[in-house]
Chains A and B, each alone.
Chain A
Amino acid sequence: MNTIEVLNAINAALALSNALLPSLQAAVSSGDVTPEQQAEVLAKFEALRDNAAAKFSGPEWQLSGR
């Protein structure tokens, strides 16, 4: 694996871990899912539902053209 491939893998891993940590904590936490955790999950869902158009816009959502 060369330098760019290593950097790609590191970039992907970092981005993914940053994005997923909160969900990961909620998903794999042991014991009961507390009311606070449930409220966070619901709030996140509602934020996406109510702002879907904005969430799925931006340059990263433009087709690659490849």
Chain B
Amino acid sequence: MKILLSLLLLALFAGCAHNLDTSGVYAGDQTLYTTDLTIGTSYDIFHTFVTFEATNRASLPVAVSKAADNIRVNAPKWTATAVRLRQAYVVNPTPESRKSLSEAIAIIQAAITEAVGYLSAPPLKPVTDFVPTTSPVTAENLIYLVGNYSVPEFSHIQN
């Protein structure tokens, strides 16, 4: 999985030489193709990340939720900005407009890298955060107990 993700990020971020068939809709414009590929892919990754966080919130560290919240707040803005600068580049394809577009895409790429980092290796929530010592034993925290039978905080729980 990490190999595939590395390939994807490399292809998206490293100015990978996409040999565009010039008869295609991009007519050989690498900037536009990379922009559209990055914007489209970023949505998939951001959506996967926020969905993953929402689904697994109870067992994830607060830091992951805060990272997801950052995506929730900013991803629409990043996307809107990139779309606007893309349009400006299409209308007026100068070095300046290309530079502005590239900077907007770089921000999205940095956020992609962070989200993929969380998804490819989700941080672990400390078990002491997950099961307060006074909480009842449920099926969910029992799994933790089984996996952490030597943790002193749980030694009071009887079979």
Q: A40–B124 Cα gap in the complex (Å)?
A: 37
Q: List 24 A-B contacts (CB under 8 A).
A: A5-B124, A9-B121, A11-B55, A13-B1, A15-B52, A20-B44, A23-B37, A24-B7, A26-B37, A33-B19, A33-B33, A35-B25, A38-B21, A38-B25, A41-B37, A41-B40, A42-B25, A48-B43, A49-B39, A56-B75, A60-B47, A62-B54, A66-B62, A66-B65
Number of residues from A at the complex interface, CB < 8 A = 45
- A38 touching B55 in the complex, CB below 8 Å, given contacts A4-B143, A23-B41: no
Q: A7–B80 Cα gap in the complex (Å)?
A: 35
Which B residues lie at the A interface, using CB under 8 A? 1, 4-5, 7-8, 11-12, 16, 18-21, 23-26, 33, 35-37, 39-41, 43-45, 47-48, 50-57, 59-60, 62, 65-66, 68-69, 72-73, 75-76, 79-80, 83, 116, 118-122, 124, 140, 143-144, 146-148
Q: A19–B65 Cα gap in the complex (Å)?
A: 20
Most buried by B among A1, A11, A24, A38: A38
Residues in chain B near residue A39, CB distance under 8 A: 24-25
Residues in chain B near residue A52, CB distance under 8 A: 76, 79-80, 83
- A32 touching B20 in the complex, CB below 8 Å, given contacts A27-B12, A49-B83, A60-B47: yes
Give chain A nearest CB distance to B115 CB in angstroms. 9
Residues in chain B near residue A60, CB distance under 8 A: 47, 50-51, 54
Which A residues lie at the B interface, using CB under 8 A? 1-5, 8-9, 11-13, 15-20, 23-24, 26-28, 31-35, 37-39, 41-42, 44-45, 48-49, 52, 55-56, 59-64, 66
